[in-house]
Structure 1
Amino acid sequence: MIRHLAGAVALALVIATPAFAQNQKVRVGVEGNYPPFSSIAPDGKLQGFDIDIANAICAEMKADCTLVQQEWDGMIPALNAKKFDMIVASMTITDERKKAVDFSDPYYDVPSRFIAKEGAFKDHSPASLKGKKIIVLRNSPRAKFIAENYKDSEVLLADKETNVYLELAAGRGDVALGSAVVSGEAFLKKPEGKGYAQLGPSIRIGAGSGVGIALRKDDAELRQKVNAALKAIRANGTYKKLADKYFDFDVSEGI
């Protein structure tokens, strides 16, 4: 009787153990349209800081990872529908998102910048942008920031960060708000960014929260392993080596 009970308990433990612990297969949701964090190389492969971080974490966890490309708006629903097991896609940690998912410790933080035609505005204050159309990424902390602080401005919501700048270049808005890094790499350094410039100083939206890896709320074991892996790659120099490939400043500042 005791032997049967012990066997039943052992079987229950096996059943209750997450699949990750059994075979170390992890599917990672990524975007592919947010350079230099995530983009598609000419050979069709995913590249960027997010991609490198995802691969480094997987290597540290000794996990067999598969990258799954997903449109930004569907990231959290796809995670909770178990299309993948975690999101490494420059997702800012916010209280609103914490209602739907859990987050790892932050792995970077980058300020935001307004972009406009050179000399078009003296600053990016609500008074200066009154009546103007501001372009910003939909379902983002920046969109919330604009809605709360620029009530006398119009808003155009773009479905992708890179489309924020395409809309600006097409003349569909007066000013854009985006990542200080992405706006430079994906727009200002490109031919279509000629005549545009960053407007005013950088701003930190939700300073201190940073960008984290999103995981399902019932996957505490994977979150613990991801946090341990993040600490390890910071300690062994891997993180700095990867960051130095893309940035000339410390993207971990403020986290």
Structure 2
Amino acid sequence: MRKWRAAAKGFIVAVLGVMAFAAPQIAPAGGAKLRLATEAAAPPLNYIGKDGRLAGFDVDIGNALCKAMTVECKWVIEDWDNLVSGLNQRRYEAIVSSLPITGEQQKNVDFTNSYHVMPAAFLGAETLEVLKIDKTTLTDKIIGVEAGSVHEAFLRDNFADIAQIKPYDLIAQATLDLVGKRLDLVFGDRIELEYSFLKTKEGRGFKLVGPSYTDAKWFGAGAGIAVRKGDDALIERLNVALARIRADGTYKKINDRYFDFDMYGN
């Protein structure tokens, strides 16, 4: 999803000075502070709202965790490419920015339990009458996908023998060809497809087709909160807080504010 995020960077730079004051600070009684970093460039996960304040699913989850831990949230906005280095340079204690739990990332940081899945989906024309996705419905279809992504790996592992898989440098290039009727379907990150395409004027006349895909074999263990290597005490506190907001309904309220499906993966 990094390429999707890149489009928002110019706007982020313009408002960084404001955000030091405008980011919402949650301060229950207790006095302790927890510095959390996010990118603020990937709506609806993390972004700057029209009021100039930090917002999004990640931000609301982070604030809820701070409240459950009885600490004050202090938000830091960081460029995606610098999130991990900033953590290890002790500019903040944790990253709440939908960072995927991967073996490569785990060389540099430790993760909490997953707090949301990273679902993939097919995108097609509203007129497409496909009740389910299988080798019958995808036979001879031309499917666009981001080159080198986990989504391309999934397609090649499951449908390379019956469909034509066409990789693109950017998923936006694939959706452009979908609009131009040079593709039958696009496959990619569900949230990206919804918010960078379906919710725009270019996305009129298109829809998500079939189910969401979350199989860990291709799409990993989801997104976790990253902390510095060896900070087991903070991981335990965050995991306890995550379980608490799941149990008391706070997570669901936040989820339903942004999504019409369960981001936790149930």
Q: Secondary structure at the match of 1:33?
A: coil
Equivalent in the alignment of 1:135: 146
Conservation of the 8 A alpha-carbon contact between 1:141 and 1:205? no
Conservation of the 8 A alpha-carbon contact between 2:39 and 2:78? yes
The code of the aligned residue for 2:252 comes to K
Deviation per residue, 1:36-95 (Å, 9 max, x gap): 222221111121111100111112222222222223333323322333221111223222
Confirm or deny that 1:178 pairs with 2:188. Answer: yes
Confirm or deny that 1:235 pairs with 2:247. Answer: yes
Which deviates more from structure 2 when the two are superposed, residues 36-45 or residues 48-57? Answer: 36-45
After superposition, residues 148-227 of structure 1 pair within 5 angstroms as 153=165, 155-158=167-170, 164=171, 166-171=172-177, 176-206=186-216, 209-227=221-239
Counterpart CA distance in 1 for 2:44 and 2:193 is 10
Counterpart CA distance in 2 for 1:81 and 1:189 is 38
Confirm or deny that 1:106 pairs with 2:114. Answer: yes
Q: Secondary structure at the match of 1:57?
A: helix
C-alpha spacing 1:33/1:124, structure 2 compared with 1 (3 Å): farther
Q: Secondary structure at the match of 1:221?
A: helix
Counterpart CA distance in 2 for 1:227 and 1:128 is 46
Equivalent in the alignment of 1:13: none
Conservation of the 8 A alpha-carbon contact between 2:246 and 2:252? yes
Q: Which runs of 5+ in 2 are unaligned?
A: 1-30
Q: Report % sequence identity.
A: 35
The code of the aligned residue for 2:246 comes to R
The code of the aligned residue for 1:32 comes to A
Confirm or deny that 1:252 pairs with 2:260. Answer: no
The TM-score normalised by the length of structure 1 is: 0.70
Counterpart CA distance in 1 for 2:157 and 2:89 is 31
Equivalent in the alignment of 1:81: 89
Mark the structure with the bigger radius of gyration. Answer: 1
Q: How far is 1:217 from its partner?
A: 0.8
Counterpart CA distance in 2 for 1:95 and 1:147 is 21
Conservation of the 8 A alpha-carbon contact between 2:116 and 2:265? yes
Aligned residues: 223
C-alpha spacing 1:70/1:149, structure 2 compared with 1 (3 Å): farther
Q: Secondary structure at the match of 1:222?
A: helix
Confirm or deny that 1:64 pairs with 2:75. Answer: no
Q: How far is 1:228 from its partner?
A: 1.4
Q: Secondary structure at the match of 2:74?
A: strand
Conservation of the 8 A alpha-carbon contact between 2:84 and 2:108? yes
Equivalent in the alignment of 1:50: 58
Cα root mean square deviation, aligned:
3.4
The TM-score normalised by the length of structure 2 is: 0.68
C-alpha spacing 1:76/1:129, structure 2 compared with 1 (3 Å): farther
Q: Which runs of 5+ in 1 are unaligned?
A: 1-22, 159-163
Equivalent in the alignment of 1:28: 36
